[in-house]
Amino acid sequence: MELESLLHLPFWLGVGQIILIDILLGGDNAVVIALACRKLPEHQRLKGILWGTAGAIALRVVLIFFALTLLAIPYLKLAGAALLVWIGVKLLAPDEEDEHGKIEGSDKLWGAVKTVIVADLVMSVDNVIAIAGAAQAVGGQHQMPLVILGLLVSIPIIVSGSQLVIKLMDRFPVVITLGGMLLGWIAGSMAVTDPSLLHRLPTQAASHAGATVEVIPAVHYAAGAIGALLVLVIGRTVSTLRARGQ
């Protein structure tokens, strides 16, 4: 990664997006780790937490690498955008089911570590797609450094400060609303970069390596705004319908 890229605002905006996404969608990580390690002897709990977290981070980086590669295939960005809209709606109108009860603790160190990694794998599909979409918005050759930096910053925040983050979200619900709209923005921005749509939209010469053309900024921002509003409208509608049905 070139040093000058660290001085560019888009890079740090991308890092900020990834941190926010991981905090909003990965707030369960600390709960998963606690449940998986609760039966360990006292002297092994810290090891279980550290190894489980390290394994979960490594696995997530690998998954995001494959997601970034797959999103280069025509039509897959459109599918990813639709999935991001659905994830954003779920964030604004969450299900009542609690998946934590399915997580069993282990009294063996590596059993607990395996539980943390497997549980994180199952629960992190939304993170992977959302983070891959955010990283692609930066473009160029800096996608994986961006992902790794964002995860390295956000995972410790989640693990050590999850209760504070949860209280912040409870006190200021607008944080969750803005997070859901951010996912919609990423979805719209990602959809218009799908190879199947590029030749149908106004384009310009690409401003970064790895691509020849890209949509003009007006189309990019308009698509992002439409995606954000779509998540907000659908999320509010679903929440209203559920409240009436109770």
pTM above 0.85, yes or no: no
Total of domains in the chain: 1
Closest CA to 120 of 170, 152, 155, 88: 155
What are the tens digits of pLDDT across the range 196-221? 887 888 888 766 555 567 788 898 89
Residue 5 has pLDDT above 90, yes or no: no
In tens, the pLDDT along 43-94 reads 787 777 778 777 877 887 888 888 777 777 888 888 888 888 888 888 788 7
Cβ(40)–Cβ(175) below 8 Å: no
Q: What single-letter DSSP state applies at residue 215? A: E
> For residue 200, how far is the Cα from the chain centroid?
29
- Domain boundaries, position 16: 3-245
Contact 37, 113 (CB under 8 A): no
Question: Could you tell me the end-to-end alpha-carbon distance of the chain, in angstroms, rounded to an integer?
Answer: 53
Query: Rg of the chain over CA atoms, in angstroms?
Result: 19
**Closest by Cα among 220, 216, 218, 194 to 205:** 216
